Amino acid sequence: MQFNCTYIELSSLLSPERARGVEPGKLAKEQLIEFIEARANTDFVEISMKEFAFIDVSFARECIINLIRHYAGNKAIILSNFQDDFLIDNITVSTSRFKVCILSKNSQNNLFMHGPNNGKLSNKDKEIWEIISTFDAISSSKLASLMDKVSSSAAHGKLKKLSDMGLLFKKRGKAKSGGVEDIFYPVTANYQ
């Protein structure tokens, strides 16, 4: 499947010196939503942190974390071009309260997961992640068939949890039965 990607430098919306506090964070999030909505067919949004030496935790929560929550399951948000690890650490601090993960891309185009529990999934979520990350796409029925004693509805709940965390996004697809079903796409397997 072909996916649409878009790129924006956060500094095009906000001066890096203003990346502090709740109100600038809310404003930046609204501007990002406006940018993304103008590109309705976008599946992946890469937000460059180029020029940002510092972002405080309040700004990170209001802008980045709430943006990920807003699009969870529908669009993948990936952060890139960090000047140093301190910046991603400040953003990551905001994740545990909301149980979301941040995906970042380094200069070699490798994706990294940051989030609750130092970016580590719970054992149950990790088991599911290890199964689904080997696929470009997976449905609830397919996941259920790969796991012992798991119904399709339970598998859907597990996929939805990872989707809500920002690790998967979904699209409607045609089921083998002829009906419609959600197809989940692991961000790490589909982003280029």
pLDDT of residue 191: 63
Which of 124, 11, 26 is closest to 66 using CA atoms? 26
Which residues have CB under 8 Å from 3's CB, separation 6+?
Answer: 43, 44, 185, 190, 191
**How crowded is residue 24: how many other Cβ atoms within 10 Å of its Cβ?**
20
Residue ranges, the chain, pLDDT below 70: 116-120, 189-192
CATH number of 121-190: 1.10.10.10
Q: Tell me the whole-structure pTM to 2 decimals.
A: 0.86
Q: Which is it for the CA torsion 68, 74, 75, 76, positive or negative?
A: positive
Model confidence pLDDT, tens digit, residues 96-146? 777 788 888 888 887 888 876 655 677 788 888 888 888 888 999 899 999
- Token pair, residue 69, equals 């929550």
Which of 51, 44, 65, 48 is closest to 18 using CA atoms? 51
Domain range annotation of the chain? 5-118, 121-190
pLDDT of residue 10: 96
pLDDT of residue 149: 85
Q: Which is it for the CA torsion 133, 187, 116, 97, positive or negative?
A: negative
pLDDT of residue 192: 58
Which residues have CB under 8 Å from 105's CB, separation 6+?
Answer: 46, 78, 79, 80, 111, 112, 191
Residue-averaged pLDDT of the chain: 87
pLDDT of residue 33: 97
